[in-house]
Structure 1
């Protein structure tokens, strides 16, 4: 089983100024997959296998701006994946094991910007069941 890293990059100041987090979220993951047009957008379609672990990390693209992940909701939560906060990272890193397969299952990430503004956006997960090599 693999660990998939999802980086959530946010222009915190612009998101707050325009009250529009999705417009200022840029997501990439470590799968190396490209081609569906979701890379670099707020609707990243992370591809993985049932049993993989996904680790999300949130970063402000502007130094000194506070950001944290508050939690996850949506169709993929908690049955497909149930992310938990990694306490040593002050809310900026969460992770969870993928527990079932699904195609383009949407979930929401709730974020805390500058320690007092709550906003959300909605990316996707596609998880396939691993194939067994039979000899």
Structure 2
């Protein structure tokens, strides 16, 4: 069991102008050695196992703009997620508890961006993967 941190950095002004997160959302986790891949993209594949805890946080590139995760949708029977708030603040983050193997499981991420709280979910395609998926891909390449 481990805690995996997923950090999201978003270019809020450009995402609002383009009406997409594609190329403007950068997701990174601290489990690359555990099998995560597609670091620094909106296609992050985070390797997790049953019992792992995931913490998602977001940071806008421009310090004057607002960015928050409005929704994070995963099947509750596989990974239960809940929204938390840092004590004595209005800054939120999301916590997930992995209950069973995830296979290759896409999840929906909805961000609240800008002063008008506009919600964007286009252009983000993150997913959770089993560490074994990466292990089998590596061993297949090694045999070739």
TM-score range, shorter chain: 0.7 to 0.9
How far residue 83 of structure 1 moved from its aligned partner, in angstroms, is 1.4
In structure 2, what is the Cα distance between the partners aligned to 1:37 and 1:4? 13
Unaligned stretches of 5+ residues in structure 2: 133-144
Higher-strand-fraction structure: 1
Unaligned stretches of 5+ residues in structure 1: 130-135
Higher-helix-fraction structure: 2
The aligned residue for residue 56 of structure 1 is 56
Residue 104 of structure 2 aligns to a residue whose secondary structure is: strand
Q: Does 1:99 align with 2:85?
A: no
Q: Does 1:7 align with 2:10?
A: no
Normalising by structure 2, what TM-score? 0.79
The aligned residue for residue 25 of structure 1 is 25
The aligned residue for residue 119 of structure 1 is 120
How far residue 37 of structure 1 moved from its aligned partner, in angstroms, is 5.5
How far residue 125 of structure 1 moved from its aligned partner, in angstroms, is 0.2
**Bigger-Rg structure (1/2):** 2
Is the CA contact (8 Å cut-off) linking 2:36 and 2:47 kept in structure 1? no
How far residue 22 of structure 1 moved from its aligned partner, in angstroms, is 2.9
The aligned residue for residue 72 of structure 1 is 72
Task: Please give the root-mean-square deviation of Cα atoms over the aligned residues, in Å.
Answer: 2.2
